[in-house]
Structure 1
């Protein structure tokens, strides 16, 4: 062995530590980068402050109302803030909000995913643009317009569907119909499904478009059919995106006000059948009673708004947990 080569070989250069790298990066940061970093950080902190302020305001006003409530706020089936002492509860509102949102999601999510898959993998190029444009227009329609359409067009044409459900599924009790006006939770759920359909469709379509082409080509090279490509490559990749889109739609369904108030015949009782008129939701109850409510009545409505706020946070948190379990399918990690 040539010992001169060993002696002439320079020693390895020591690598900088992580702390030294961070200090060097901060020293080399441009002024514009520092300004952008400060603005981004400040925006995040401001958002947290606003959320905390909203939660604090709702909690304070809700505590005033609940302290004067003679009924159980969570289980009472009445809303009488004008009584002395007042009695009000949110049991009917929780039931109506949850049931109408579940109906809307059960109808909208499968249809929206199917439309998104059709636009990205089946529809001819000449049809993709016009269909996507029409769906985008549906997302821009105001809520009150949906409500007027539901009251004037949808409700009068629901008798046939209600009769069919009563004939074939009325034995379940959930779909029994006594022949009243079809201003029930099922009609509200169908209307909400139409309203959230564009949101879920658009987001799902964009997610499916991000599927790596090599994944689909690899499945096709192995002899998979188009449906098998969608089932094995497209849907697993876009699952987290579809969940996010569904949560966006669910957020609108939970907080929808004018459309529900226009279509529903509210009563403070829980109907066993989804076809019987009655029930109510948080947003509908707040919109219909806030204008004529007393000071205590407004605090009671704010207390119900706090419950809706908590439900929305829980739903979003659950969605984030589900998405976190599916990181391997997210587009960022592809």
Structure 2
């Protein structure tokens, strides 16, 4: 009886501790959103919430600020990086979990996970000294010269071949988010029950048929969770993107031309903002980035629940 009483008490203490810690996370997130909203209230009040969000002018001299170029730049760079990195990360996960010998798979997995441990400034420096010359000399300049001779109307789409711009930033960002989607996809594939594979092999299926018809459908929830984690990482990336994207405030974008993201404009101008309205506008952009990340995660959670419901129903 005494042991049961102590066990019940310890269970209640442990449950209370978990609830406290979980509630603290929610409170901290709410306080962050509130502080960003208070900091950006002057910009929202001066320009209007929707006018500021979809405004295309960013002029610190005349104190005219709009967040649309940076919001669009964040969405475009993140979506493009996710599109480029998805197939390589999934292929790496399948190769490690299904095809490679165990010792080789562990080595490859370690090297891929090591990419997540590198500081973003290292990616930025590598991008400036290695990737930018390659992109400029072997991708941008040939396409620019081709468009100048055969399709002059495309020159505005491509932009000047400087190497610093959207393309380089997207390529580096896609490399940075591969470990996040690949690691979760690898774990999800390894959690597929062996009986599922053996049943397909008993029916005469090849290894690729087993992967395509059994492993990937069964593990799609974990694969999608990795995609969401990679997208969240891409939305908030600052230093590497700031060093490579060119930090242009204009619309529309060109493939090779400069652009900016919400995180990069905050990193570039926060210490140089002298006026109260300029500082408030940067904090307002931080609030919009917070809201964008929240909406993306909520939408991904809803889609993941729908996928899990469909799997359970089948």
In the alignment, what sits opposite 1:17?
A: none
Q: Give distance in 2, aligned partners of 1:182 and 1:203.
A: 33
1:92-138 per-position Cα deviation (integer Å, ceiling 9, x unaligned)? 10111111111100111111001000001111223111111111211
Residue of structure 2 in register with 1:162 after alignment: 140
- Whether contact under 8 Å (1:166, 1:175) holds in the other structure is no
- Compared with structure 1, are the counterparts of its residues 158 and 188 closer, same or farther at alpha carbon in structure 2 (3 Å cutoff)? same
Of 116, 128, 136, the residue aligned with 2:105 is 128
Give 1:33 deviation, angstroms. Answer: 1.4
3-state secondary structure, aligned to 2:214: helix
**Between 289-298 and 312-321, the greater mean CA deviation after superposition:** 289-298
Q: How many angstroms apart in 1 are the aligned matches of 2:234 and 2:159? A: 27
Which residue does 1:20 correspond to in 2?
A: none
Alignment partner, residue 40 of structure 1: 18
Give the CA deviation at 1:64: 1.6
Q: Please, what TM-score do these two structures have when normalized by structure 2? A: 0.89
Task: State the shift of 1:229 in Å.
Answer: 0.6
Moved more, 45-54 or 309-318: 45-54
Instruction: Name 1:265's counterpart in structure 2.
Output: 246
Select the residue among 29, 46, 49 that pairs with 1:51: 29
Question: Is 1:76 the counterpart of 2:55 in the alignment?
Answer: yes
C-alpha separation in 2, matches of 1:44 and 1:250: 24
CA distance in 2, matches of 1:123, 1:333: 33
Query: What is the aligned partner in structure 2 of residue 152 from structure 1?
Result: 129
Unaligned runs of 5+ in 1: 1-25
1:63 and 2:41 aligned: yes
Deviation at 1:76, TM superposition (A): 2.3
Structure 1 residue 192 displacement after superposition: 0.3
Which of 289, 298, 304 is the matching residue for 2:279?
Answer: 298
Alignment map for 1:281-296 (pairs within 5 Å): 281-294=261-274, 295-296=276-277
Q: Find the partner of 2:163 among 170, 182, 191.
A: 182
Measure the CA separation in 2 of the matches of 1:168 and 1:28.
79
Larger Rg: 1
Report if the CA contact (8 A) 2:144-2:160 is conserved: no
User: How far apart in 1 are the matches of 2:229 and 2:177?
Assistant: 8
Which runs of structure 2 are paired with 1:164-313 in the superposition (5 Å)? 165=143, 173=154, 176-275=157-256, 277-294=257-274, 295-313=276-294
| Cα deviation, residue 289, structure 1 | 0.1
SS in 2 for 1:39: helix
Structure 2 residues not aligned, in runs of 5+: none
CA RMSD of aligned residues (A): 2.6
Q: Does structure 1 conserve the Cα–Cα contact (< 8 Å) formed by 2:75 and 2:235?
A: yes
Do 1:173 and 1:272's aligned partners in 2 also have CA atoms closer than 8 Å? no
2:115 touches 2:179 (CA, 8 Å); kept in 1?
Answer: yes
* Aligned-residue offset at 1:28: 8.4
State how far apart, in whole Å, the 1-side matches of 2:273 and 2:250 are: 20
Q: Give the Å deviation of 1:296.
A: 2.5
Structure 1 contact 165–176 (Cα < 8 Å) conserved: no
Cα distance, 1:279 vs. partner? 1.5
Residue 10 (structure 1) aligns with: none
Question: Which of 55, 80, 87 matches 1:110?
Answer: 87
Q: 1:181 Cα shift?
A: 0.3
CA shift for structure 1 position 168:
7.8
Separation of aligned partners in 1, 2:263 and 2:89: 25
More helix by share: 2
Q: 2:119 aligns with which of 139, 142, 147?
A: 142
**In the comparison of the two structures, how many residue pairs are matched?**
305
